[in-house]
């Protein structure tokens, strides 16, 4: 056996365990969900479950609600996290030191505890409402059991990790490049859009993919502080499977959620392949 063939077999043997694990815990469950979602109540196969997803008024509203929450949460997380990362990268002082010490704390708080804390803070009889009452406010906006509560929870869960990713990318931007741009007269906005943003775009794309997939499949916060109707798809799946015992419709909902995540993942992978092609050319 040639040396090149031995190297090839060694590479395959190193990759094979990970590939088998991927097949067992990801590929096979996806294929099983697809088969289950195509099964009708008579035991045959058709698209009736998917037809129900888009023709039933409640299920259609759940899909729209999930996309609204996911898109709004993703955009807000990216904007806030990028602003924090840029501020910490290019500034010094006590405020920056406090942000660096504090912004990672939400990562170490379990989601159930954090959600319960949000209920106690932002509920109709929570701390914020009681404080405003002492200042003369007779009403408090509805935040808990509403879309706004889910979005606030998503901000709490996702901003620390996203800020950490973007901060790491920004720290790799050389100071010499920025100083050179300033020397030739480039303003702050021009430096940001022509240098900083392009150099960190790859990490921004990675962060947006992670946030989108994490939010669209979230369950704890939508279940505890979301409205009864419409619901996020994760909560809707639990209701369909656990309460109504409709495994086929639950599988169709799960596979449809997977397709939406795959759609976002496709653009991420396409961008990465395009970038690698540009580097190799």
The domain limits of the chain are 57-280
Print pLDDT tens along the chain (281 aa).
Answer: 677 777 778 778 888 888 889 888 888 888 888 999 998 888 888 999 999 999 999 999 999 999 999 999 999 999 999 999 999 988 888 888 888 888 888 888 888 999 999 999 888 888 888 888 877 777 778 888 899 999 999 999 999 999 999 999 998 888 888 888 888 888 888 888 888 888 898 889 889 999 999 999 899 999 999 998 899 999 999 999 888 888 899 999 999 998 888 888 887 787 777 766 666 66
Please report the pLDDT score of residue 133 as a whole number.
Answer: 80
DSSP labels for the chain? --HHHHHHHHHHHHHHHHHHHHIIIIIHHHHHHHHHHTB-TTS-B-SHHHHHHHHSHHHHHHHHHHHHHHHHHHHHHHHHHHHHHHHHHH--SHHHHHHHHHTTGGGGS-HHHHHHHHHHHHSTTSHHHHHHHHTT-------TTSHHHHHHHHHHHHHHHHHHHHHHHHHTS-HHHHHHHHHTT--HHHHIIIIIHHHHHHHHHHHHHHHHHHHHT--HHHHHHS-SSS--HHHHHHIIIIIS--HHHHHHHHHHHHHHHHHHHHHHHHHHHHHHHHHH-
Please report the pLDDT score of residue 13 as a whole number.
Answer: 84
**How far is Cα 148 from Cα 152, in angstroms, rounded to an integer?**
6
* pTM (2 d.p.): 0.86
Please report the pLDDT score of residue 159 as a whole number.
Answer: 94
CB 201 within 8 A of CB 160: no
DSSP state of 39: B
- CATH code reported for the domain at 57-280: 1.10.3720.10
Please report the pLDDT score of residue 1 as a whole number.
Answer: 62
Please report the pLDDT score of residue 186 as a whole number.
Answer: 81
Q: How many residues does the chain have?
A: 281
């Amino acid at each position: 056996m040639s040396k090149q063939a031995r190297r090839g077999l060694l590479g395959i043997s190193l990759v094979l365990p990970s590939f088998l694990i991927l097949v067992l815990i990801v590929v096979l469950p996806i294929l099983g969900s697809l088969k289950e979602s195509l099964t009708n109540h008579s035991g045959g196969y058709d698209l009736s479950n998917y037809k129900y997803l888009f023709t039933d008024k409640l299920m259609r509203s759940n899909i729209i609600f999930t996309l609204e929450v996911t898109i709004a949460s993703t955009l807000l997380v990216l904007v806030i996290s990028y602003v924090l990362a840029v501020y910490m990268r290019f500034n010094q002082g006590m405020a920056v030191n406090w942000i660096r010490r504090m912004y990672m704390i939400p990562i170490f708080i379990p989601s159930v505890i954090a959600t319960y804390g949000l209920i106690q803070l932002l509920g109709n009889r929570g701390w914020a409402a009681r404080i405003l009452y002492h200042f003369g406010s007779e009403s408090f906006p509805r935040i808990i059991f509403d879309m706004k509560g889910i979005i606030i929870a998503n901000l709490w869960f996702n901003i620390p990790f996203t800020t950490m990713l973007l901060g790491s990318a920004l720290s790799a931007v050389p100071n010499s490049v920025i100083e050179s741009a300033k020397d030739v007269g480039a303003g702050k906005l021009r430096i940001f859009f022509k240098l900083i943003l392009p150099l960190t775009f790859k990490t921004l794309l990675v962060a947006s993919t992670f946030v989108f997939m994490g939010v669209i499949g979230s369950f704890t916060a939508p279940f505890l502080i979301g409205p009864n109707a419409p619901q996020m798809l994760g909560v809707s799946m639990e209701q369909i499977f656990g309460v109504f015992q409709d495994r086929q419709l639950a599988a169709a909902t799960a596979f449809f959620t997977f397709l939406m995540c795959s759609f976002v993942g496709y653009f991420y992978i396409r961008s990465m392949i395009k970038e690698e092609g540009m580097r190799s050319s």
